[in-house]
Amino acid sequence: MKQGMGKVAVGAAVIGAAAVVGVAALVVRQRMKNSSRWARAMAILKEFEEKCATPEAKLRQVADALTVEMHAGLASEGGSKLKMLISYVDSLPTGNEEGAFYALDLGGTNFRVLRVQLGGKTGGIVHQEFAEVSIPPALMSGTSDALFDYIVENLASFVAEEEHRFQQPPDRQKELGFTFSFPVMQTSLNTGTIIGWTKGFSISDAVGQDVVAELTKALKRKGVEMRVAALVNDTIGTLAGGRYSNKDVCIAVILGTGTNAAYVERAQAIPKWHGPLPQSGEMVINMEWGNFRSSHLPLTEYDQTLDVESLNPGDQIFEKLTSGMYLGEILRRVLLKMAQEASLFGDTVPPKLKTPSILRTPDMSAMHHDQSSDLRVVASTLKDVFEISNTSLKTRRVVVELCNIIATRGARLAAAGIFGVLKKMGRDTLREGGGKTAIAMDGGLYEHYTKYRECLEKTLQELLGTETAATIVVEHANDGSGIGAALLAASNSHYRGDEASSGDKPSPTPETFT
């Protein structure tokens, strides 16, 4: 009996030992599997980092390529991927403007109406008011008359409400600057043909019509006495707003959902300009630089698939690398590859990680700026956006590193773009007689994504060198698309030169920009 029990005990011991060996083998296999997965994740990260690299030499090539395209775009229509649109703005605000001016800012599913009271040479902006109105979805695909009648009805209510605050001289017509952020072929400062609609609008009977004429007809139908003095886009508005408060501003850059730049060009350097030379000798150019592309831009497989699957394949390549609409989506695409090929988030790929555009750039910014020791903002963002929970700290560190790679590339390329514009203007080196050059920046990406902004400004200094960088001022010009349009109505007013007292009257000649 004892001998039998001994055999059982030995057998059990052997089975137990085998089980232990089996478990140990499983653990080793799992560790090897995890180790090879991690190695794959690191390989994807390293390759992405290398493809996104923006050494100074590459940035100088990008800037030179942009300058070449600027010349080509100024030479002829369609001569470049850069449209280099003539804005017909040859008179920016001087700071002497006086009186009440209005702005209408139509750029999406909401529109804004503003009124700005200007106090002349010493008064600056005395007072400003605005109202924001949603556009009913039915009007976004209705008729031109219906849309503009609705806009003017709200504008009229706004004017009536604020009338007591702003005493307009009885013999003086109200004037308005119109920011219209849809494709337009501009033919003068206050005329422009609608080329098409974007952002969910589809008003077919307005296409091919002059947008200012459509607005003016609605003003007449509704009995509103108001002249549209200027038709502008948000970048030109930012330039005007920046110039009003700082005479050295001659470039404006928007870095928000999209990106664009405008600058002051010598009229004689615009071969495609066939009109009479403006008195100022200069003209504001709307670059539409989001459409810039060059073989020097550091594109990855993720950028290429994003472009192919976008609404505008082949277009807006520079914008797709630098602006807020796309940075979060690039991050999602890299994370998806890591989940598929390196099981970054476990054995199954989180379903929500496959949803395009689900990760917004503000989410990416929040993760990039996470200062907590356990990266809890990264953890909560992954959970809220993708329903990914229980991530390890080292996985979260990978996410932050990816944020850094994407934001750094975007910011450094944006800086190279600015450097290219400065080169075209001859302001990339010290100027004879000194003088500063100011750049007005606006847009949510620039304003709220601190690490992006800091990287952009540091890179611009790197490209300029210490001495020249000291002469370049980068400043935030808030709400250019609104206030700037009202200021352009003022600087292009029918009553320009009549607003100040005789001893303080500005010259009737438009201000030169340099």
Specify the higher pLDDT residue, 181 or 237: 237
Torsion angles phi and psi, residue 228, rounded to 5: -85, 110
Query: d(Cα 477, Cα 174) in Å, to the nearest integer?
Result: 26
Beta strands in 330-442 (DSSP E): 437-442
**CB atoms closer than 10 angstroms to residue 108:** 15
One-letter identity of residue 69: E
Which residues are within 8 A (CB) of 269 and not within 5 positions of it... i.e. 6 or more apart? Answer: 74
Q: How far is CA 247 from CA 50, 111, 230, 479, 511, in A?
A: 42, 29, 21, 18, 10
Q: Are strands 282-286 and 85-86 parallel, antiparallel or unpaired?
A: antiparallel
Query: d(Cα 211, Cα 201) in Å, to the nearest integer?
Result: 14
Residue 480: DSSP 8-state: I
pLDDT 10s digits, 254-299: 999 889 999 999 999 999 998 888 989 999 999 999 999 999 999 9
CB distance 241 to 477 below 8 Å: yes
Which residues are within 8 A (CB) of 476 and not within 5 positions of it... i.e. 6 or more apart? Answer: 440, 441, 442, 446, 447
User: Which superfamily, per CATH, for 88-232?
Assistant: ATPase, nucleotide binding domain (3.30.420.40)
Nearest to 222 by CA among 109, 145, 167, 289: 145
Residue found by looking up tokens 């007449």 in the block: 220
pLDDT-based confidence at 13, cuts 50/70/90?
Answer: low
pLDDT 10s digits, 334-393: 999 999 999 999 999 999 999 999 999 999 999 999 999 999 999 999 999 999 999 999
Query: d(Cα 490, Cα 51) in Å, to the nearest integer?
Result: 48
Q: Kindly tell me if the per-residue pLDDT of 9 is higher than 70.
A: no
Q: Kindly tell me if the per-residue pLDDT of 428 is higher than 60.
A: yes
R_g of the chain computed on alpha carbons: 29
Torsion angles phi and psi, residue 104, rounded to 5: -120, 125
Q: What is the mean pLDDT of residues 464-482?
A: 90
pTM for the model stands at 0.86
Nearest to 473 by CA among 457, 486, 462: 457
CATH number of 65-85+246-478: 3.40.367.20
Torsion angles phi and psi, residue 297, rounded to 5: -70, 130
Query: d(Cα 108, Cα 186) in Å, to the nearest integer?
Result: 19
pLDDT 10s digits, 198-255: 777 889 999 999 999 999 999 999 999 999 999 998 899 999 999 998 999 999 999 9
**CB atoms closer than 10 angstroms to residue 46:** 10
Report the catalytic residues: 199, 234
Query: d(Cα 389, Cα 376) in Å, to the nearest integer?
Result: 11
One-letter identity of residue 430: L
Q: Is 208 helix (H, G, I), strand (E, B) or coil?
A: coil
- Torsion angle in degrees (nearest 10) through CA of 68, 69, 74, 79: 120
What count of Cα atoms within 13 Å lies in the side-chain half-sphere of residue 450? 5
Our measurement of the distance from residue 164's CA atom to the centroid of its chain's CA atoms, rounded to an integer in Å, reads: 37
Q: Kindly tell me if the per-residue pLDDT of 497 is higher than 90.
A: no
Q: Kindly tell me if the per-residue pLDDT of 43 is higher than 70.
A: yes
Query: d(Cα 375, Cα 395) in Å, to the nearest integer?
Result: 10
Residue ranges per structural domain of the chain: 65-85+246-478, 88-232
Specify the higher pLDDT residue, 64 or 430: 64
Maximum C-alpha span of the chain = 127
Query: d(Cα 158, Cα 53) in Å, to the nearest integer?
Result: 51
Query: d(Cα 399, Cα 388) in Å, to the nearest integer?
Result: 13
pLDDT of residue 506: 32
